[in-house]
Amino acid sequence: MKKILITLLLVISGVTANAQEGLKWYTDINKAIEASQQEQKPLFLFFTGSDWCGWCIRLQNEVFKTPEFTAWAKDHAILVELDYPRRTPQSEGIKAQNGQLQQMFKVEGYPKIWFVKPTVKGDGKINLEQLGSTGYLAGGPSVWITSANKILANYVADPKPAPVAKPKKTKAKKA
């Protein structure tokens, strides 16, 4: 009986690990904004306490580590993890960035997911347009994805600029 249970646990953990393969979670907001601009997808800001928040861990296990979420995320968002751990060390730069974003979005509890549309202004400043937020929802990936899709219905991608045509070189005629 123990062998069957151990085998089952190994199979389940293998499926979970495979579900996360191919997903890129950014921790640097600037790199995520660049990817969002290039891929014309909104940012998915996941505010979490990865090593202490029970609801965050539950959301990860029940939704984010499933094949359904992986397939959905690849097509719909640029994933950004903004972590506030108690035991896991972080660089001072990441701590400062995450603290600033926590204040900007008025996050008071975890988990919190904000969907935002980044826009780079002419002066180089970045605007993060809030599309909507969610958190843990009971019911697994299908319930969570349905809720997220309702929020993303507010997202309108910016039109990609048309490529600039290079002027043709003309030869000067000799008179």
For helices 67-76 and 140-152, give the axis angle rounded to 10 degrees: 10
Lowest mean pLDDT among 51-55, 96-100, 162-166: 162-166
Count of residues making up the chain: 175
Q: Structure pTM? A: 0.80
Q: How confident is the model at residue 13 (pLDDT cuts 50, 70, 90)?
A: very low
Q: How confident is the model at residue 18 (pLDDT cuts 50, 70, 90)?
A: very low
pLDDT in tens, 26-64: 999 999 999 999 999 999 999 999 999 999 999 999 999
| Arithmetic mean of pLDDT over the chain | 86
3-state secondary structure 72-128: HHHHHCEEEEEECCCCCCCCHHHHHHHHHHHHHCCCCCCCEEEEEEEEECCCCCEEE
Report the C-alpha gap between 72 and 50 in whole angstroms. 22
